[in-house]
């Protein structure tokens, strides 16, 4: 998919700082043996994720924004080993901040509606090493009595972290191979 002309792109989403006062917080992180601009460039190019990640089924923009984000639809499988994969789907507002740099998502449809996500790219002493951290914050689904428990005991550690850790590892491999 090619990027539309700049005058056809929407204004960037302003997602603000991560709301860390949520019931479920997951953190997946990895030190990547690649310069920050390399891993950041690969991570912000979400349309290419399925090419790097076997567990991703598709990524497509419903609308694109001038900052490289937009309204993005994603589907990935949570592998459980063997033939057991659990398909997931979500729609997110995505913003990209080149100056920090970071990538922010807010899930607006799917079971994880309301989940906030931040990809952080932290410089290390060595310019060829970057620490990447993915933070997910969520209060859980609005299921009476069990929503928060489901988010904290199952959805966060099993599904969210299960997919995020594989995503980070796969994009790290792509960055390390490129450098």
Enumerate domains of the chain plus CATH numbers: 19-178 (3.30.530.20)
- CA 36, 1, 53, 92: dihedral to nearest 10 degrees? 80
In the predicted structure, residue 151 carries a pLDDT above the cut 80 = no
Pairing relationship of beta strands 70-79 and 102-109 according to DSSP bridges: unpaired
Write down the pLDDT at residue 163: 87
pLDDT > 90 in the chain, percent: 70
Apex 25 CA angle, 77 and 59, nearest 5: 30
pLDDT digits (tens, 9 = 90+) for 74-122: 999 876 766 778 788 999 999 999 999 999 999 999 989 999 999 999 9
At 3, the pLDDT band (50, 70, 90 cuts) reads low
């Amino acid at each position: 998919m090619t990027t539309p002309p700049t005058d056809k792109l929407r204004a960037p989403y302003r997602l603000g700082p991560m709301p860390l006062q949520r019931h479920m917080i997951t953190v997946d992180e990895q030190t990547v043996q690649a310069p920050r601009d390399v891993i950041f460039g690969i991570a912000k190019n979400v349309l290419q994720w399925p090419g790097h990640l076997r567990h991703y089924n598709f990524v497509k923009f419903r609308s694109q924004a001038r900052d490289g984000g937009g309204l993005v639809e994603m589907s990935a499988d949570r592998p459980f080993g063997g033939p057991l994969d659990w398909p997931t789907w979500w729609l997110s507002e995505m913003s990209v901040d080149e100056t920090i740099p970071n990538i922010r998502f807010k899930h607006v449809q799917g079971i994880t509606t309301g989940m906030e996500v931040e990809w952080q790219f932290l410089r290390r002493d060595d310019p060829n090493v970057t620490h990447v951290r993915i933070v997910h914050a969520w209060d859980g689904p609005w299921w009476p009595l069990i929503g928060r428990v489901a988010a904290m005991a199952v959805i966060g550690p099993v599904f969210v972290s299960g997919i995020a850790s594989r995503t980070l590892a796969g994009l790290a491999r792509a960055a390390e191979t490129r450098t």
